[in-house]
Amino acid sequence: MTSREKKLNKKADKWQTELAQSITSVHELEKKICLSETEKTNIELITKIFKIRITPFYLSLMDKNNPDCPIRKQAIPSLEELDFKMEELEDPLGDDRYSPVPRLTHRYPDRVLIFPTYECATYCRHCFRRRIVGRNDQEMTKEEMKCILTYIQNHNEINEVILTGGDPLLLKDEVLKELLLKIRSIHHVRILRIHTRLFVTLPHRITHELKSILKKAKPLYIVIHVNHFNEISAQFRRAVRGIAEAGIPILSQSVLLKGINDDVQSLRKLFSGLIEASVKPYYLHYCDLARGISHFRTPIQKGSELLKQLRGSVSGLCIPYYMVESVGGHGKVPVLYNCFKVNPQLCWGTHRV
Ligand SMILES: *Cc1c(COP(=O)(O)O)cnc(C)c1O
Ligand code: SF4
């Protein structure tokens, strides 16, 4: 190994060290931020049901003395997570209903989602897949990978494969490489896509080696989950730059979250910040009807109203589509502000929130 290679390798390991140093219990957390006795008891209670994990990097973005910090609210549990609402569902997106083989969802004819892992570097308190993310730690087995590939191979209507999860970039380089290249070798698959949050929570993951793996899988799109301007760190920008230089387009998806980004000023900063970082805002999602996240949910109309206010005062590049997931896994519906009408059949439940 040359010394340059050694140096690169060392850097490559850094993300795993960082991940291993993540906070996963209230005892570790109380050493880092101020918590009252009640908070500690509550967090302990919740983490028995929904795991906690925060990378040191994501923690460093947090204003530790401010309970309203948008980063803190996304990563530190609150008791409201145990307050399940009537309209909330175990599987609001119908991931399981449309799953012909384990770890694959085929809901739209031309696209499939695959879930190579259900692990994330930091668990979002608003996670829409919380029924499984952070609960099932098992990575995809060789057998499961084989079944997924056979399914895709046998369905030539599939032209796009989306790696999601969990965070697919938590896979080890060799596994990710094998998976991407095997999918790439299926003739009718034209486009690959990766949904990730690591640019925000673990930007060290975007290594030289990773870039070269992703380059081989082109045409490939990356969609980053990012919800607040404070998540666009210098490290985020650097990671994006590296990927963009590899000729891989980068988009973002955000979730509209009460008290975090549900005002014009926050969204303007977020979306223009993303555009400046060369990331195109793709979707703004209405907070899904997953269990225990009603404290993050806004009324449906809020999203379209906010985008209406943004339109005209920022570049059109900054404006994503506002998407509402129809209950029962019938798909995403774009909600437009100038022809806004909720079909109660499609989006029931939400007007009661
Ligand atoms: C969101 C989603 C997709 C991707 O949808 P796009 O509109 O193409 O981004 C694909 N499959 C399922 C099941 C989804 O939920
Ligand atoms: S990154 Fe996505 S899958 Fe992971 S915890 Fe957050 S919302 Fe859930």
Find the residues whose C-beta lies inside 6 A of ligand 1.
Answer: 93, 105, 107-108, 111, 113, 162, 332
Q: How many CA atoms lie within 13 A of 225 on its CB side?
A: 26
Pocket test for ligand 2, best of 95, 118, 167 (most atoms within 8 A of CB): 167
| CA 123 to ligand 2: nearest atom | 5
Instruction: Provide the CA 188 distance to its chain's centre, in angstroms.
Output: 27
Pocket test for ligand 1, best of 95, 115, 155, 162 (most atoms within 8 A of CB): 162
Q: What local confidence, expressed as pLDDT, does residue 135 receive?
A: 84
Nearest residue by C-alpha to atom 1 in ligand 2: 197
d(CA 226, CA 232): 8
CB-CB contact of 110 with 158 (8 Å): yes
What are 41's two structure tokens? 């008891």
Q: How confident is the model at residue 338 (pLDDT cuts 50, 70, 90)?
A: low
* Ligand showing the shortest atom-to-Cα distance for residue 136: 2
What are 131's two structure tokens? 């029924």
Mean pLDDT of 311-334: 89
| Amino acid, res. 202 | L
Map tokens 């409201």 to a residue. 80
291 CA distance to ligand 2 middle (Å):
14
The predicted-structure confidence for 163-211, as pLDDT tens digits, reads as follows: 998 999 999 999 999 999 999 999 999 999 999 999 999 999 999 999 9
Question: pTM value?
Answer: 0.93
d(CA 308, CA 267): 12
Q: What angle do CA 237, 256, 277 make, to 5 degrees?
A: 15
d(CA 282, CA 78): 29
Sign of CA dihedral 22, 25, 28, 31: positive
Sign of CA dihedral 119, 124, 128, 130: positive
* Residue whose C-alpha is closest to residue 327's, from 291, 289, 297, 270: 289
What are 84's two structure tokens? 């399940």
Q: How confident is the model at residue 340 (pLDDT cuts 50, 70, 90)?
A: very low
186 CA distance to ligand 1 middle (Å):
20
Helix 173-184 vs helix 142-154: crossing angle, to nearest 10: 20
CB-CB contact of 326 with 92 (8 Å): no
Map tokens 């099932």 to a residue. 136
Residue 10 has pLDDT above 50, yes or no: yes
Residue 350 has pLDDT above 60, yes or no: no
Residue 76 has pLDDT above 70, yes or no: yes
Helix (H, G, I), strand (E, B) or coil at 322: strand
DSSP 257-296: -TTTT-SHHHHHHHHHHHHHTT-EEEEEE----BTT-GGG
31-35, 71-75, 183-187, range with the lowest pLDDT: 31-35
Mean pLDDT of 334-353: 60
CB-CB contact of 43 with 37 (8 Å): no
| CA 108 to ligand 1: nearest atom | 11
Cα→Cα distances 272→228, 280, 283, Å: 11, 9, 14
Q: Which 3-state string (H, E, C) describes 116-162?
A: CCCCCCCCCCCCCCCCCCCCCCCCCCHHHHHHHHHHHHHCCCCCEEE
Instruction: Provide the CA 108 distance to its chain's centre, in angstroms.
Output: 20
Helix (H, G, I), strand (E, B) or coil at 65: coil
Q: What is the chain's mean pLDDT, rounded?
A: 92
d(CA 268, CA 308): 12
